[in-house]
Amino acid sequence: MVTLYPVKLINIITNDSMEERLVAMFKKYGVSGYTILRVGGEGSSGLQSEMTGFDSNILVKVILPPERMEPILESLERKLRKGYHLTVYIVDVQVITPGKFVKPLR
Amino acid sequence: MSSLSSLLLPAVLFFALGVIARVIKSDLRFPPDLAKVLSIYLLMAIGLHGGYALAKADMMIAMNSILWALVLGFTLPVIGYLILLATRKVSPLDAAAISAHYGSVSAGTFLTAIAYLDNIGVPHETYPLIMLAVMESPAIIVGLLLAAKARQLIAAQEANSPSGGAVTMGDDDGNGEHNHSSFGALLRDAFTNGSVVILIGSMIIGAISMPSGMAKLFPFIDDIFTGVLCLFLFEMGMVAAKRIGDFRQVGWVLALFGIVMPLIGGVIGAYVGHSILGFSVGGATLVAVLGASASYIAVPPAMRLAVPEANPSFYLTLSLGITFPFNVVVGIPLYHSLVQAMAA
């Protein structure tokens, strides 16, 4: 029986122009890694057609131990208050290699 | 008199085909990033061409063109902002973000104008090309300044009303996490924008390359240019048609702005090109097109970062869904006729 360890998965959907800022923020708060997908969709900031690159969205995924989450969520909240369009949702997930999500990126 | 010939330009017809493909809900879809590839090629080709021609050009006129490109880039957004505020249909921050788009330029519109002029055999100077490169960025700066002004305006309003909601301006992410989002960094982004780098870089390469080397490049930058432009406009037609759906959301006053503002910019550009810079009819038409066109590549991401409070669907719909099609189909021949009338 493989042991499963509970961790958190933060998902952020936003415009791709936000990528650099989010990555800098992740590094600042010591996440161990992140994944970015290019996505399309439609919502409060209108259509993201994904057709030509100037209106495409990204879906950013970060897995981290629960105790590391707070500063990142606070930072995201500050961005939201300033008017940035971010869709943030957190999911409980389980991993088999918890150590992988502890060592901060440089 | 020449308006029909613009509509029958293959590039413009392909633009229409793109629109139709969307309207009839065709499953036609270009591979993602194709438009990016095409616009890299177009900017590179036009840059090489322009640089090659500019190497033999008059430096005084070139400097003068740059100066007036800056004047246009700084003035047009202010005009747009005042008009938008007068309509009272959008918030001051939306007005700032939208008007920044109208001070910047659309390379796609510019290239279509060149194809139009070539098609009807009107010669044109290469100086407007430097203006194209210069005008990508100043409007972003004005947009930032207008947004700062708009925030003051809103703060003042909120202070007057007793309910005055919490204004959470300023206070970035505390400890320098946002270092790179400062005003200076946005300026750097504006001037190191991809299309500016390609355009200016290719112009320099075109200017300093050996003529024999350039001759080998001409098949690449000349012979297939119109075909690539057709493909580009084909996709842009689909993009524009997708946006036209948002038209209702934007409202007719704003939609009207998307047509009136290019006309104002076009008239100012025609005046600058013809009367101040003394260009030929072809050259002045290109300056008019620069004044009339609205950015959809450099400015939207800059505004998203710098003016997050503004609604992106406003400025994207206006610039891509209304102003771009208007300029390509109606505007270019109109500005050409206008300059002809001024020259007569």
Q: What is the ipTM of this complex?
A: 0.72
Name every chain A residue with its beta carbon within 8 A of the beta carbon of B177: 24-25, 28, 75
Buried b (16+ CB within 10 A) or exposed e, B210-235: eeeebeebeeebeeebbebbbbbbbb
What's the CA gap between B93 and A100, in Å, rounded?
44
Mean of the pLDDT values across residues A2-20? 92
Q: Is the pLDDT of residue B50 over 90?
A: no
Name every chain A residue with its beta carbon within 8 A of the beta carbon of B181: 21
Nearest CA in chain B to A74: B173
pTM for this one? 0.83
Instruction: Map tokens 């369009």 to a residue.
Output: A85
Mean of the pLDDT values across residues A10-26? 91
Residue type, B299: V
- The band of A54, judged by pLDDT with boundaries at 50, 70 and 90, is low
**Which range among B38-42, B101-105, B137-141, B222-226 has the greatest average pLDDT?**
B101-105
Orientation of helix B225-244 relative to helix B10-23, angle to 10° = 30
Report the pLDDT value the prediction gives residue B180, as an integer from 0 to 100.
40
Instruction: Out of B32, B300, B313, name the one closest to residue A54 (CB).
Output: B300
Mean of the pLDDT values across residues B25-50? 86
What's the CA gap between B221 and B218, in Å, rounded?
5
Strands A5-15 and A57-64: antiparallel
Instruction: Tell me which of A10-24, A66-80, B304-318 is least confident.
Output: B304-318
Determine the length of chain B: 344
What's the CA gap between B144 and A44, in Å, rounded?
23
DSSP output for B307-320: -TTS-HHHHHIIII
Type and span of the H or E element at A86:
strand A86-95
Torsion of CA A89, A90, A92, A98, to 10 degrees: 130
Percentage of chain B modeled with pLDDT above 70: 91
Report the pLDDT value the prediction gives residue A29, as an integer from 0 to 100.
92
Helix residue ranges per DSSP H, B136-191? 138-160, 183-191
- The band of B188, judged by pLDDT with boundaries at 50, 70 and 90, is confident
Q: Please report, in angstroms and rounded to a whole number, the separation of the first and last CA atoms in chain A.
A: 34
Mean of the pLDDT values across residues A24-36? 93
Percentage of chain B modeled with pLDDT above 90: 41
Strands A41-43 and A35-39: unpaired
What's the CA gap between A60 and A69, in Å, rounded?
15
Residues 6+ apart with CB under 8 A from A89: A11
Report the pLDDT value the prediction gives residue B165, as an integer from 0 to 100.
42
Tens of pLDDT, residues B65-102: 999 999 999 999 999 999 999 998 889 999 999 999 99
Instruction: Tell me which of B137-141, B142-146, B189-193 is least confident.
Output: B189-193
Instruction: Map tokens 């400062």 to a residue.
Output: B182
Nearest CA in chain A to B93: A83
Q: Which two tokens stand for residue B23?
A: 């309207």
Whether residue A21 and residue B180 make contact (CB cut-off 8 A), yes or no, is yes
Report the pLDDT value the prediction gives residue A50, as an integer from 0 to 100.
57
Whether residue A46 and residue B313 make contact (CB cut-off 8 A), yes or no, is yes
Instruction: Tell me which of B10-24, B174-188, B191-205 is least confident.
Output: B174-188
3-class secondary-structure state, position A90: strand
Instruction: Out of A28, A75, A84, name the one closest to residue B308 (CB).
Output: A84
- B239 at interface of A, judged by CB pairs closer than 8 A: yes
Report the pLDDT value the prediction gives residue B195, as an integer from 0 to 100.
78
DSSP A38: E
Report the pLDDT value the prediction gives residue A23, as an integer from 0 to 100.
94
What's the CA gap between B253 and B271, in Å, rounded?
27
- B28 at interface of A, judged by CB pairs closer than 8 A: no
Report the pLDDT value the prediction gives residue A90, as an integer from 0 to 100.
96
3-class secondary-structure state, position B25: coil
What's the CA gap between B326 and B333, in Å, rounded?
11
Are the C-beta atoms of residues A7 and A78 closer than 8 Å to each other?
A: no
Report the pLDDT value the prediction gives residue B73, as an integer from 0 to 100.
94
Whether residue A45 and residue B312 make contact (CB cut-off 8 A), yes or no, is yes
Are the C-beta atoms of residues B223 and B45 closer than 8 Å to each other?
A: no
Mean of the pLDDT values across residues B250-261? 90
Q: Is the pLDDT of residue B241 over 90?
A: no
Q: Is the pLDDT of residue B204 over 80?
A: yes
Instruction: Out of A52, A79, A81, name the one closest to residue B239 (CB).
Output: A52
Strands A35-39 and A5-15: unpaired
Sheet holding A86-95, edge to edge: A35-39, A57-64, A5-15, A86-95
Closest residue by Cα to residue A86 from A10, A32, A27: A10
